[in-house]
Amino acid sequence: MARHAKSLLPRWTSRVFMVELDGAPLYFGIQEKHREEKTLRVFHQFQKQDRCYSLLVHSRDRIRSAKFYGELKDKLLRDLPSGCDLTSMSSFLPNVKDSLIKGYFLKGCAENSSHIEQLLSELEQHEPVLVCSYCGGEDEQWTQHLWSRAESKATGKAKQYYLVSSEAPAYHPSTLNIINSHVFYSIDEACDVLKECGDIIPEAMSVLEMLPSRVEARQKPDFPVIVIEGLDATGKTTLTESLRDTLGATLLRSPPQCLSPWRARFDQEPPLIRRAFYALGNYITAEQISQEGMKTPVIVDRFWHSTAAYAIATAVSGPLCNLPLEGSEVYRWPSDLLQPSLVVLLTLDPEERKRRLKNRGQGKTDEEQELDHNHLFRLRVEEAYRRIRDPACVTVDASPSADLVLHQVLLLIRRKCHL
């Protein structure tokens, strides 16, 4: 870990730290000297005798970092002594892309501190994790002690910093790392991720063998391409099949059927790998669209909008204001991916959607379960759909009968696609 920690140290005091406490973010910075003026109580809810620690996962190997971060929480929950509180935290350089590193913050007490520190010391020596401890002083001034072996070797002791309050950034820090970590904007970037994990995920090579060339993924067909988007139970399946029959079109789905054997495998992976897999599914679908669109109109059940909207909503927690602002490059369409002629977003009242889901009686995906119990997540998904541009979604109310929804969408298609 020393090599990777050393790369952070030159800008360590420029970093801002965020801890999720009681469901709200707390931001703080650090400084090397204790200033004379009264310092704000950064950790006002903690007692002086509390023992606090942070673990930030950081490695030049992004695959290792992503997998270890996903495994670390389970390890901590399993091995920490009872009575410890564990919450999410992160550190970032304000307004610097790809500077976000994620980890966990934990609070213990004097009685279990030796057990905690033994566990953290073992992690710090063998895993891609940077460990800090935090202590409260008589003057209510908290200090951070960096456990980095790189720093200890240079100074002979752990480096101490003083904690100071920091204002919330203009944008939620998660937005710094969305591009090519959660949402991919080229076939090459997504391919790179699967190539890097080929040694540990053999199925990745099978996916790569199915990919089209860049030209095939963006080749514009002769006939219109209409994408139908929306949350589960908004009527996408009924509508897409009706459009296929009415227009004499070809119906495709994304992710494509050819990736089905590997979906369960990649759904178990951390977001970096899982999102790259689904991004590549869009490029395979694009090749199918190009081929079929030379003969007939093409209807597509979900496409890049779904991949991006769910990824953005998952990467950014909290209320809608945490999403990247409208017009952000996060919402742009990939330059090397075929653009549809029309994208229709079906919307439905949340209670009506739940009723339809209950009547279907099908098993729910993890994301569908999250939509059900997390109101803010659903709002973020819906808003991310609406903010994606070039092409933007045209919203259609899916609450009327299937025939009326079909009629409304056909009018849109005839007006915009001249069918």
The full set of domain ranges for the chain reads 2-170, 178-417
**DSSP at 40:** P
Average pLDDT, stretch 99-123? 91
Of 33-47, 78-92, 279-293, the least confident: 33-47
**Is the model's pLDDT at 350 over the cut of 70?**
yes
The structure's pTM equals 0.89
Overall size of the chain counted in residues: 419
Question: 178-417 is classed in which CATH architecture?
Answer: 3-Layer(aba) Sandwich (3.40)
Angle 366-371-375 (CA atoms, 0-180°, nearest 5)? 145
Strands (E), 129-256: 129-136, 142-146, 159-165, 225-230, 250-253
Q: Which helix (H) or strand (E) holds 25?
A: strand 24-31
Residue that wins the pLDDT comparison between 371 and 321: 321
d(CA 38, CA 164): 10
Which contacts qualify for 35-39: CB closer than 8 Å, 24 or more apart?
A: 35/162, 39/139, 39/140, 39/141, 39/162, 39/163, 39/164
Average pLDDT, stretch 124-132? 90
d(CA 54, CA 147): 10
77-90 tens-digit pLDDT: 999 998 899 999 99
Query: Across-strand partners of 26?
Result: 19
- Residue 233, pLDDT score: 85
Nearest to 207 by CA among 252, 254, 253, 263: 263
The string of DSSP letters for 354-393 reads HHHHHHHTPPPPHHHHHHHH-HHHHHHHHHHHHH--SSPP
Does a cis peptide bond (omega within 30 degrees of 0) precede residue 391? yes
d(CA 408, CA 405): 5
The mean predicted confidence, pLDDT, of the chain is 88
d(CA 417, CA 343): 11
d(CA 71, CA 327): 35
**Is the model's pLDDT at 154 over the cut of 50?**
no
d(CA 237, CA 234): 9
| Residue 303, number of CB atoms within 10 A of its CB | 26
What strand order describes the sheet that includes 225-230?
250-253, 298-301, 225-230, 342-347, 394-397
pLDDT level of residue 6 (50, 70, 90 thresholds): low
Neighbour-count burial for 207-230, b at 16+ CB within 10 Å, e otherwise: beeebbeeebbbbebebbbbbbbb
- Residue 373, pLDDT score: 62
